[in-house]
A and B are shown apart, each in its own frame.
Chain A
Amino acid sequence: MAEARIQPNYRLVGTRVPRHDAIAKSRGLQRYSDDIDVTQMLYAKVKRSDYPAAILRKVDTSKAKALPGVKAVLTAEDVPVNAEITKFGQMRDVGGGFEGLYKALASGKVRWKGDPIAIVAAETEELAEQACDLIEIDYDVQPGVFDPREAMKEDAYLVTSEDDSNVIMETNIISGDVDAAWDECDVIVESKYYTSPHDHAYLETESGIGWMDENGVVTLRVGTQVLEHFRTIAKVIGTDHIHMRNMSCMMGGGFGGKEDITVETHIALLVKATGRPVKLVWSREESHQCHSKRNPEYLHYKTGAKKDGTLVAQSADVVMDGGAYTLCTPWVHMYSTYAGMGPFVIPNTRMHVTSCFTNNTSSSANRGFGGPQVNFAYNRQMYKLAKALDMPVYELMLKNVVHNGDPIPSGYIPEGYVAMEEVLTGVYKQLESKPKVDRLPDGRRVGRGIAVGHMVTGRMTFLHDSSRVSVRLELDGTVTVRAGVPDLGAGQASSIAQICAEEFGLDITDVMPFIMDTHLTPLCGTTTATRQLYMSGNATLKACKIMKERLLDEAEKLMGIPSDQLRFGDHRIYFRDNADTFMPFVEVVNNLSNDGGELECIAQFNAPFSEVPDLLNIRGRVNPDMTYTAKGFEVAVDEETGQAEILRMVIGADAGRCLNRNSYEGQLEGGAVYHSLWATTEDLSWINGVATCNNYDGYLLPTTVDVPELEDVVLESGGGLGPYGAKGIGEPSDNDSAPALINAIADAVGVDMNMDYMPVSPEKVLWAIKGKSMEYNRPDVWVEESDPDCETLIHEVPFHDPVVKKNF
């Protein structure tokens, strides 16, 4: 295992210094939004659609309103601005297909099972539920469309009331000449894949509380990844930006699912309608049915190589399920487009992605954001190609991975360091450091799989992204940091505190971050796109440097030593050549104050800017930086049940620089496990847009016994664009787990069929072992309908298996 190369000149960077928020959380003191109550509070409930596709004829709320104790029942007609363009905190209008419609409450067509139709506030939770039951809705039920490949067709059922096509967006990145290049290939592998609607399944459901303050400001405490939604919420409830505030709250997990507006508008509308504080907490079942998912994708890949393994061409046609509303789909779509060819040098490529509305629950952001779907496909392709070429997949990957200076398919040469080969080799060596047996003593077959990935950090450059952080020196030598950074638990706030402590030569306990208030903290932009360390970390660094210059000028006056020969450390400002010549940090601060110096600074960091690309031929730079990852899995498969157990997980990444070793490993490990069972047991079992597994009893997350001891391989190239050369890890960490697992299962059982359509259930593995391919189907449906041996529903579906053409 590679150990971090901790730079000797850093005191805190790279260490395992404890996070400031961990203390309250472990002692049971942390309040999440459901743990906050205020007096005179009302309880809200949402009346949701019974059907995934219908036209609303009439909504009668009279009986609900007549129920004693009910204070408000609102429908779309009561909302000042019910439909508004969806934005995600961007400071620049980009238009085009990027900005879809957000609706506070359904009007016209109901688009999904769970579409909110009315909201209720009542004296108790039970009364609010009763009132929802008394709302009478007359539906004209429609057939709907649930498969984006069907939704794309011209005569398809139209999901929305506002558009004349279900297509949300279409993109291309093309390099070389793919069609001509197939003739140059000695081997071509062609396969189809399906990735399922992965659920975030965070432990805290969507929840929050709101009230009106003395000045008429509607004030929320709602955990969100996007504080900047307050602008949309203000518009929806018919007020201005200075009367709509979110004080936000620590979140019990987000992973992208709290990137969309969830409870905010409903609470704000009810606060405004009743003048009373309102609390709204989604039930577990409501959360699983209603929050957006990872966009399911249907992927068709074709990859060709020379017989020595040199990649020649790759094309991919991807159809994305956007679900009922646009939300983040266009952005996720861009990530799939951008990452689709994998971290390989391929001279001829074509990546084509189309996203569509369906009547499924909306899809939007989920950790990885369009990366993991294509990552699953291109790693499976590499595995099959290696098999066809009869060469180890490691060698095939090593031969083709990108290096520093290689252009990506859009023609852009990444600015950040590319350590793909080092990461791949590090993971492979760790995996191979222990011998592999073919069978365990209990008879189970053992297999290994590896996968590689590249993932963007930072938002797309044409958004002109920025972040602002305030640093304030206190007169007792402590430091206040104010930042509108939504903290999901990944240590976003603690990281910026650590940067301050590093820069000023203080302990991390001398710095307190005050975070995530729309109106009292400088806005930092979204906690999405693995951008907070990069954006707000750099903004913090910039603010610290400005403050340090002021302190050094003051110290130069006081000490008579030129400021460039002074250093910060151990709560002192000291002479570079003799640390015994120093002034306490606090004294310099006080002198600065006495002289009327500025003790506070807000600094803004801007990401690189680019223009909106031509979506049908994307060229150049689209993202700030990339992180490179690899994983190696070892599994044991029971041939009698098809059940696979993960025996080993080797997980690697180039950190650029680890800011906090514990937090870094926590993200690396957490992301790897978050995705470890996505391809197998994390199955919502959607049937026509209804999640039939809507709690942890059916939607099975990895537990402590489903995952092994994790073997981390952390490299530090120092070549990231974040503070101290850091690269992001929050989302990159979750690439590679799904294909590494499936490649390992395929390796164990020696066959490739049934492995490409999620969920890859034990049943599918079992039938693969028996040599029978199985159509993508719901296990719970066919088990009920089939005879005990399931034979009747086993189909020979040739295109689900790879088509391998060999010309040698």
Chain B
Amino acid sequence: MSERIKINLKVNGEDVTYDIAPEDTLLKALRANYNYDVKNVCEIGECGACTVLLDGEAVKSCVTLAAACEGHEVWTDKGLGENDALAARLQDAFVECGSVQCGICIPGFIVAGVGYIKNIGDPDRKSIRKYVSGNLCRCTGYQKIIDAIEKVALEHERGEI
């Protein structure tokens, strides 16, 4: 077993120091520090349930090396909802639009949705579908997830959020 190292990063607005193994993924480091909203599902970057914002970009934390995040900024679904009006609005839109069933993919979808609206923003369903195509959902058939992201993208475009 390899030696453990310490990394300093900012998670959900708070400066933290994580004690990790050099080979640990960001997913493992976040969950070891009680960020249970980051879901562990496939561990190979295929499903998007562990999506977080890393310096504003939506990334899959299961294929991101924790050690490489030294000095970087990470936001998760829970943290975003508590600090960011757009993310909180998107979370509510998921509730209103009936986008949530079992819910295990939802934190990843919301982070990806926030990434989409902030970085691209076009309330075009095809464009949204393409951006979140790395996030899997087995319950909903996606229709109502796209509805929620489209709704908030429109509100954002109109300057309501």
Interface positions, chain A 226-260, Cβ under 8 Å from B, are 250-255
Stretch at the interface among A66-74, A294-302, A658-666: A658-666
Cβ contact within 8 Å between A28 and B129: no
**Which residues of B, 113-149, contact A by the 8 Å Cβ criterion?**
125, 128-130, 132-146
- Interface-lining segment among B64-72, B90-98, B153-161: B90-98
Q: Which of A28, A254, A709 contacts B143 (CB 8 A)?
A: A709
Number of residues in A with C-beta < 8 Å to the partner?
57
In the complex, are the beta carbons of A670 and B139 less than 8 A apart? yes
Instruction: Return chain A residues, CB-CB under 8 Å to B92.
Output: 26
Q: Write the chain A residue with the least CB distance to B98.
A: A662
CB pair B136 A701 closer than 8 Å: yes
Give the complex CA separation of A737 and B103 in angstroms. Answer: 24
* B9 interfacial by beta-carbon distance below 8 Å: no
Residues of B with C-beta under 8 A to A23 = 95
Closest residue on chain A to residue B88 by CB atoms: A27
Residues A252 and B98 in contact, CB atoms below 8 Å apart: no
Which residue of the partner chain, among A251, A674, A704, contacts B102 with CB atoms under 8 Å? Answer: A251
- Whether a CB of chain A sits under 8 angstroms from the CB of B101 is yes
Q: Are B104 and A204 in contact (CB under 8 A)?
A: yes
Are B125 and A673 in contact, CB atoms less than 8 angstroms apart?
no
A24: chain B residues within 8 A (beta carbon)? 103
User: Once the chains bind, are B103 and A697 in contact (CB under 8 Å)?
Assistant: no
Chain A residues in 8 Å Cβ range of B74: none
Please state if B140 and A670 are interface contacts (CB–CB under 8 Å).
yes
**Interchain CA distance A284-B36 in the complex, whole Å:** 18
Asked if A806 lies at the interface with its beta carbon under 8 angstroms from chain B, I say no
Contact mask A673-707 → B, CB, 8 Å, 1/0?
Answer: 11000000000000000000001110001011101
Give Cα A730 to B125, complex, Å: 26
With beta carbons under 8 angstroms apart, the residue of B46, B96, B132 that contacts A697 is B46
> A725 interface residue, CB < 8 Å from B?
no
**Interchain nearest-CB distance for A102 vs B (Å):** 26
Is the pair B40, A34 in contact by a Cβ cutoff of 8 Å?
yes
B77 and A670 within 8 A (CB): no
Interface membership of A669, Cβ < 8 A: yes
- B141 contacts A670, CB within 8 Å? yes
Beta-carbon contact of A28 and B77 below 8 Å:
yes
With A28-B107, A29-B37, A202-B102 already in contact, the answer to whether A701 and B138 are too (CB < 8 A) is yes
Beta-carbon contacts under 8 Å, A693-748 to B: 695-697, 701, 703-705, 707, 709-710
Q: Which residues of B contact A696 (CB under 8 A)?
A: 42, 44, 46-47, 136
Contact in complex: A26, B110 (CB < 8 Å):
yes
B41 within 8 A of A: yes
Which of A140-148, A429-437, A483-491, A510-518 contacts the other chain? A483-491
Cross-chain contact B81 with A28 (CB below 8 angstroms): yes
Instruction: Known contacts A695-B44, A703-B133; decide if A253 and B36 are in contact (CB<8 Å).
Output: no
Q: Which residues on the B side are within 8 Å of A201 (C-beta)?
A: 138
**Is B37 within 8 A of A28, CB to CB?**
yes
Which residues of chain A in 647-670 are interfacial with respect to chain B, using CB atoms and an 8 Å cutoff? 660-663, 665-666, 669-670
A663 to B98, CA, bound (A): 7
A-B Cβ contacts below 8 A, count? 168
Within 247-302 of A, Cβ neighbours of B (below 8 Å) are at: 250-255, 284
A16-B98, A25-B103, A202-B102 known; A674+B141 contact, CB < 8 A: yes
CA distance A65 to B149 in the complex (A): 53
Inter-chain CA distance A526–B104, complex, in Å, is 22
Q: A27–B100 contact, CB under 8 A?
A: no
Given A697-B44, A707-B142, CB of A489 within 8 Å of CB of B136: no
Inside 8 A of B44's CB, which chain A residues have their CB?
A: 284, 695-697
Q: Which of B42, B110, B138, B143 contacts A255 (CB 8 A)?
A: B138
- Asked if A704 and B138 sit within 8 Å, CB to CB, the answer is no
Residue pair A703, B140 in contact (C-beta under 8 Å): no
- Contact partner of B133 among A202, A254, A705, CB < 8 A? A705
- Residue B105 is within 8 A (CB to CB) of chain A in the complex: yes
Contact across chains for B95 and A203 when beta carbons are under 8 A apart: no
Please state if A252 and B136 are interface contacts (CB–CB under 8 Å): no
Would B76 and A28 count as touching, CB distance under 8 A?
A: yes
> In the bound complex, what is the Cα–Cα distance between A251 and B91 (angstroms)?
20
Looking across the interface, which residue of chain B has its beta carbon closest to that of A711?
A: B143
Q: How close is A253's CB to chain B, nearest CB, in angstroms?
A: 5
Tell me if A31 counts as interface (CB < 8 A to partner B).
Answer: yes
Shortest Cβ distance from residue A519 to the other chain B in the assembled complex, whole angstroms: 25
Contact bitstring A488-517, B, C-beta under 8 A = 1, else 0: 111100000000000000000000000000
Bound form: Cα–Cα A198–B44 in Å: 21
User: Are B139 and A204 in contact, CB atoms less than 8 angstroms apart?
Assistant: no
Q: A22-B94, A35-B36, A126-B1 are in contact. Are A669 and B144 (CB under 8 A)?
A: yes
Determine the chain B residues whose CB is within 8 A of the CB of A697 once the complex forms.
Answer: 44, 46
Q: Which of A21, A203, A204, A662 contacts B144 (CB 8 A)?
A: A662
Which residues of B (32-74) have their CB < 8 Å from a CB of A?
Answer: 36-37, 39-44, 46-47, 49
Residues of chain B within 8 A of A31, CB atoms compared: 36
CA distance A703 to B47 in the complex (A): 9
Report the minimal beta-carbon distance from B27 to chain A, rounded to whole angstroms: 12
- Residues 196-240 of A, flagged 1 when their CB comes within 8 A of B and 0 if not, give 000011111100000000000000000000000000000000000
Q: How far is the CB of A342 from chain B (nearest CB, A)?
A: 24
A203 touches B133 (CB 8 A): no
**Is the Cβ of A253 less than 8 Å from the Cβ of B104?**
yes
Are B139 and A709 in contact (CB-based, < 8 A)? no
The reply to whether the CB of B26 lies closer than 8 angstroms to some CB of chain A is no
The interface centre, meaning the residue of B96, B100, B144 with most chain A CB atoms within 10 A of its CB, is B100
Bound complex: CA A709 to CA B43 (Å): 29
A165 interface residue (CB < 8 Å to B): no
Q: Does A400 sit within 8 A of B, measured CB to CB? A: no
A30 in contact (CB, < 8 A): yes
Q: Are B142 and A704 in contact (CB under 8 A)?
A: yes
The yes or no answer to A32 lying at the interface (CB within 8 A) is: yes
B39 touching A252, Cβ below 8 Å: yes
The reply on B78 being an interface residue by CB < 8 A is yes
**What residues of chain B lie closer than 8 Å to A705, measured between beta carbons?**
129-130, 133
**Would A673 and B142 count as touching, CB distance under 8 A?**
yes
Q: Given the complex, which residues of A lie within 8 Å of B97, measured CB to CB?
A: 662
**Which chain A residues border B142 with CB–CB below 8 Å?**
673, 704, 707
| CB of B106 within 8 Å of the partner chain | yes
A661 to B47, CA, bound (A): 28
Question: Which A residues are CB-close (under 8 A) to B78?
Answer: 27-29
Report A671 CB to chain B, min CB distance, Å: 8
A120 vs chain B, min Cβ distance (A):
18
Query: Which of B42, B106, B133 is close to A25, meaning CB atoms less than 8 Å apart?
Result: B106
How far does the Cβ of A32 sit from chain B's closest Cβ, in whole Å? 6
* A203 and B41 in contact, given A22-B100, A252-B104 (Cβ under 8 angstroms): yes
Contact residues in B for A660 (Cβ distance below 8 Å): 98
Cα A146 to Cα B156 in complex, Å, equals 56
Task: Across the interface, name the chain B residue whose C-beta is closest to A126.
Answer: B1
Contact call A26/B138, Cβ cutoff below 8 A: no
Q: Are A26 and B94 CB-contacts (below 8 A) given A32-B104, A696-B44, A697-B46?
A: yes
**Contact between B139 and A489, CB atoms less than 8 A apart:** yes
Subset of 29 A-B contacts with CB under 8 Å: A16-B96, A16-B98, A18-B96, A22-B94, A22-B100, A22-B103, A25-B103, A26-B94, A26-B99, A26-B100, A26-B106, A28-B36, A29-B37, A30-B104, A32-B39, A204-B102, A205-B41, A488-B102, A490-B102, A661-B98, A663-B98, A665-B98, A670-B101, A697-B46, A703-B133, A704-B128, A704-B132, A704-B145, A710-B143
Residues in chain A within 8 A of chain B (CB atoms): 16, 18-19, 21-32, 34-35, 126, 200-205, 250-255, 284, 488-491, 660-663, 665-666, 669-674, 695-697, 701, 703-705, 707, 709-710
Known A-B contacts: A22-B103, A696-B42, A707-B142. Give 20 more (CB < 8 A).
A19-B95, A19-B100, A21-B100, A22-B98, A26-B103, A27-B77, A28-B36, A201-B138, A202-B138, A252-B103, A284-B43, A488-B102, A489-B101, A666-B101, A666-B139, A666-B140, A670-B140, A671-B141, A673-B140, A674-B138
Can you list the 10 inter-chain pairs with the closest CB atoms, starting with the nearest?
Answer: A489-B102, A662-B98, A28-B37, A25-B103, A252-B104, A673-B141, A28-B78, A669-B141, A696-B46, A28-B77
